[in-house]
């Protein structure tokens, strides 16, 4: 299949991430879309360029700390006209906006998905790995008609308790007079199995507890005085991180051109963010925020940036008040094509 590598989280997706980190909601993925188009940028997109196929989420599983696998089954069973797959979108539920386009992946090399009824039958697992703070805060609307994965069937068959409810030692009675005896026999067999199952689980639990106690005692005996400070620091870090997550304190400095700090509910949802614009065009330059404000009452301070090699000695930058939005702001510049502007903004998170 296509090698999907170019991925971007949309503006609405970033805002939804902030709500999840603030502890207001759980992340709930709803469906995948596959399309044949391609946009220059998907950051402000609300749908694919040319959506062609909708498929439901079949499973969502934490694969390691901070990473969750969201999966579907890509099939051409409902494809009436084949198409080139150039874009795939993952959708999620926003409590304020409804269903939104959360993430998009593209691949210009694409693959062709044929229509149903031909010689080629497509049915493959498709997964996207999502970075999350807490996999317990991530859910999905599962497709009830989704296909069972081979790995899930194997895990089910390897579970010794998978078919315990079907346990019985008697065949169906041949005569009506045998019905009562057969029912009593089946009931006795089930009671015996339950007793055996409970005893086994208690034994396994006690073994686990003993193992944990022995491990704790061994760790205590090997604990050195020099490790006390490291342990205390680890505890403080854990308390800090948990407190920040609960109160909605988030930040991101991964993009130097669009960074932000959200101070959470204790500070009224205060956001400080900044970055840089692109080069002005027709005496105007626009800043696209890393996270949306609650309204346009935020304060933004721009400043012109000039290289030493430029023939301009000054660049005046002013805010175009009529072009302020919750997601961006446009500046008027004294030069039509001067270098980019730096800015810093103060405001409130979307509530």
CB 257 within 8 A of CB 286: no
Q: Cα–Cα–Cα angle for 63, 53, 50, nearest 5°?
A: 110
* Residue 140 in this model has a pLDDT that exceeds 60: no
Percent of the chain with pLDDT over 90: 32
Average of per-residue pLDDT across 123-133: 81
Q: Looking at the domain 250-348, which fold is it? A: Immunoglobulin-like (2.60.40)
* Residue 109 in this model has a pLDDT that exceeds 60: yes
pLDDT band at 135 (very low <50, low <70, confident <90, very high): very low
pLDDT per residue as tens digits for the range 179-228: 555 666 666 666 777 777 777 777 777 777 777 777 777 766 666 545 65
Looking at the chain, the domain(s) classified CATH 2.60.40.3940 span: 250-348
Nearest to 39 by CA among 70, 17, 6, 2: 6
* Residue 246 in this model has a pLDDT that exceeds 90: no
Instruction: In whole angstroms, give the CA distance from residue 230 to residue 237.
Output: 11
* Residue 172 in this model has a pLDDT that exceeds 70: no
Total-model pTM: 0.43
pLDDT per residue as tens digits for the range 266-303: 788 899 999 999 888 889 999 999 999 989 999 999 99
Instruction: In whole angstroms, give the CA distance from residue 303 to residue 342.
Output: 5
Q: Cα–Cα–Cα angle for 34, 38, 40, nearest 5°?
A: 140
């Amino acid at each position: 299949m296509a090698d999907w590598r170019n991925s971007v989280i949309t503006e609405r997706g970033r805002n939804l991430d902030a709500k999840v980190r603030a502890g207001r909601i759980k992340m709930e993925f709803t469906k995948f879309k596959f399309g044949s188009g391609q946009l220059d940028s998907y950051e402000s997109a609300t749908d694919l360029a040319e959506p062609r196929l909708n498929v439901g989420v079949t499973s969502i599983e934490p694969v390691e700390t901070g990473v969750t696998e969201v999966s579907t089954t890509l099939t051409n069973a409902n494809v009436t006209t084949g198409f080139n797959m150039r874009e795939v979108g993952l959708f999620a539920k926003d409590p304020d906006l409804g269903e939104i386009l959360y993430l998009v992946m593209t691949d210009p090399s694409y693959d062709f998905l044929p229509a149903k009824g031909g010689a080629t039958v497509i049915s493959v697992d498709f997964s996207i790995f999502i970075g999350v703070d807490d996999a317990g805060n991530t859910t999905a609307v599962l497709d009830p008609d989704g296909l069972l994965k081979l790995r899930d069937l194997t895990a089910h068959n390897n579970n010794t308790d998978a078919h315990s409810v079907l346990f019985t030692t008697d065949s169906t009675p041949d005569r009506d007079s045998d019905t009562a005896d057969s029912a009593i026999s089946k009931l006795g067999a089930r009671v015996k199995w339950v007793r055996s199952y409970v005893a086994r689980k208690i034994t396994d639990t006690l073994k686990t507890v003993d193992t944990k106690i022995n491990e704790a005692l061994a760790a205590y005996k090997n604990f050195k005085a020099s490790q006390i400070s490291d342990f205390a620091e680890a505890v403080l870090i854990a308390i800090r991180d948990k407190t920040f997550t609960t109160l909605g304190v988030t930040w991101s400095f991964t993009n130097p051109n669009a960074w932000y700090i959200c101070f959470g509910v204790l500070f009224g949802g205060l956001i400080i963010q900044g970055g840089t614009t692109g080069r002005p065009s027709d005496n105007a330059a626009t800043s696209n925020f890393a996270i949306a404000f609650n309204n346009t009452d935020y304060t933004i301070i721009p400043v012109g940036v000039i290289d030493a090699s430029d023939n301009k000695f000054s660049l005046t930058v002013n805010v175009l008040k009529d072009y302020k939005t919750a997601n961006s702001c446009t500046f008027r510049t004294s030069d039509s094509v001067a270098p980019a502007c730096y800015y810093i903004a103060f405001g409130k998170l979307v509530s």
